[in-house]
Amino acid sequence: MKSIKMKKNHSMLNYLFFGIALLITATLTAAERPNILWLTSEDNNVNWVGVYGNPNADTPNIDSLAKQGFQYMHCYANAPVCAPSRSTWITGVHAASNGTLPMRSRYDIPHDRIPYYFDHLQKQGYYCINPGKTDYNIGGRNDKSGWEKKASIEQLKQKQPFFAVFNHVESHESRAHGPVEKTSHDPAKVTLAPYHPDLPTIRKNYAKYQDAVSRMDKNIGDKLKQLEAAGLADNTIVIYNSDHGGVLPRSKRFLLDSGTHCPLIIRIPKKFKHLWPATAPGSKVDRLVSFIDMPATWLSLAGISKPAYMQGDIFLGPNQDVERKNHFSYRGRMDERCDSVRAIRNKSYVYLRNYMPFIPRGQYLAYLWKAEAARAWEDHHKAGKTNDVTGRFFQIKPVDELYDTRKDAHNISNLAKNIEFKNMIAKMKQELRSWQLENYDSGLLPEAELAKRAMDNSMTIYELVRDPKLYPLKRYLDVSDIALAMDATNSKELATMLNDSDSGIRYWGMVGLFLLKNDGLEQKNAIKKALSDSSHEVSAMAAWALFNLGEKEVARAHLNSLLKSNSYAGLKVVNIIDWMGEGFDPYKATLKDSTTSVNQSYLDRVKMTAGVFEKKKKKKKK
């Protein structure tokens, strides 16, 4: 979809802003402005880094950097997967607010209103490079556009002040795939998370990934040596952190500590001692830091004021904001699997709101299942050998989850039903709601419906969710609360929602009736009528509700009809078919030729899972 051209006054304001910023930073000479070296790694949470408390971790270079710098103990990713996380980084706007939350979606944003953070740095004389991974999940601008030509650390001596990003892929999830034999680290010595069953294959997969993290740490050390050898260490702030948590099953992609709690270490030379967050290097910093804070903070370190559109706080330096009370995170579709979760946390507790509590956390996902640990865990569960803790991953989720992260770092004991925490949950829910309203959370409509509405109105999702006539977020939050309450006394109200002019209200009415199951049986005729709803998201949920109420043939026929029409919600339809649990046999003939304008590659991935067609083998070169 294409962005609407903004009025000329927006461009005028941008130029005015840049002019003012230039005057501010012009008072600083190049020697007074620090170089910034941002070293990122992929997919590893704090548990893979020795200095964060794992005695079996093998990260001597990162551990040494922590002794030379400042170790942040409460740093969290806003999204538990790379592309939405990096979307938040590059813009300083939440992916859930930009409409860039669904993994590999690349929806447009209004680029004339939202420059990337390095655009601001370049206008103030910084030489900005990022020779590795970008992966911003944003349409309308090539990820590499704007970055300077590739340069080594040695070459950066002639390009000061510089802002350089070096991403380290050695710890990526893919390094946990494949054979798990012959690892350098001893599987017997790894420390398993309590939610993983103690199986030889899982132990070996831990060891394999520990090998990968060790290689990543070595490469971090190499970059630090290059900086020293180039004579740049005394004038360069070094930042190290991972791009989100991970990486074995139930970490990456999930809004638990394992998926969002990230290492963050910042080394600041004595020359810039006024920027130190504590009295001496080697200190642990207790401040709560959210990834959304990073772009504004990096600009501030360079003497640049935070742009008005950025949604984060400055957490370091003389212009730092008051410490945030809460961190917010979000999860949408991950590859071919749909889900919707929001979380709010402070330093002691994390509260999760599951907007799709009718599906399990641990859905089969083709890429995740490339890890032998995932397959071994699933086989163990299917054999009936898991317990309440190790088997929970494969069960449907509760609407509300609350964990005491001080006592329960692995988020095992859900306190949401404990009357003692009733008031705390109510308060955190209200704070979450306030954040959703303030930041225009785009996740209260299903992705396909949201994208279609934006396209129909010739605007970006970013613009759509800021128009209360087209996206009445307050109403959506209200009706979602009614739907997720699972209270049979609401059945008539939910049925009434099915007649609303807004497809989002109708969607939540259908979700509510679906969740009531037999308690909503008296509204069966209303559900049947919803099969003809113009929203495919609503009609697909109606089919599933009828399936559960015994109308299986009606449900199958309707879902097949949606597939035959190449529904714009086709990916959700095939997800629903899988969630129904009877297999793909009744749909294989239709699936074979089905296409969809959104996420075709992921629809094909589900087809392969269903056995509709085999993945094409690459021809060997002669």
Q: For 446-491, how does the pLDDT look when each residue is reduced to its tens digit (9 = 90+)?
A: 999 999 999 999 999 999 999 999 999 999 999 999 999 999 999 9
The answer as to whether 199 is a domain residue is: yes
- pLDDT digit string (tens) for 549-574? 999 999 999 999 999 999 999 999 99
What dihedral do alpha carbons 219, 224, 227, 233 form, nearest 10°? 170
In the predicted structure, residue 226 carries a pLDDT above the cut 90: yes
- What single letter denotes the amino acid at residue 527? I
Boundary-marking domain end, from 320, 341, 373: 320
Quick one: average pLDDT of 316-327? 97
The answer as to whether 234 is a domain residue is: yes
- What single letter denotes the amino acid at residue 480? S
The answer as to whether 392 is a domain residue is: no
The answer as to whether 495 is a domain residue is: yes
What is the torsional sign of CA 608, 611, 613, 617? positive
Total domains, the chain: 2
- Which residue segment(s) compose the domain that 543 sits in? 490-610
Here the tokens at position 377 are 């865990």
The answer as to whether 152 is a domain residue is: yes
In the predicted structure, residue 57 carries a pLDDT above the cut 70: yes
Q: Are 42 and 132 in contact (CB under 8 A)?
A: no
- pLDDT digit string (tens) for 514-546? 999 999 999 999 999 999 999 999 999 999 999
Which H or E element spans position 430? helix 422-438
Tell me the C-alpha distance between 510 and 528, whole Å: 11
In the predicted structure, residue 16 carries a pLDDT above the cut 80: no
Boundary-marking domain end, from 320, 348, 382: 320
Boundary-marking domain end, from 291, 320, 349: 320
The answer as to whether 448 is a domain residue is: no
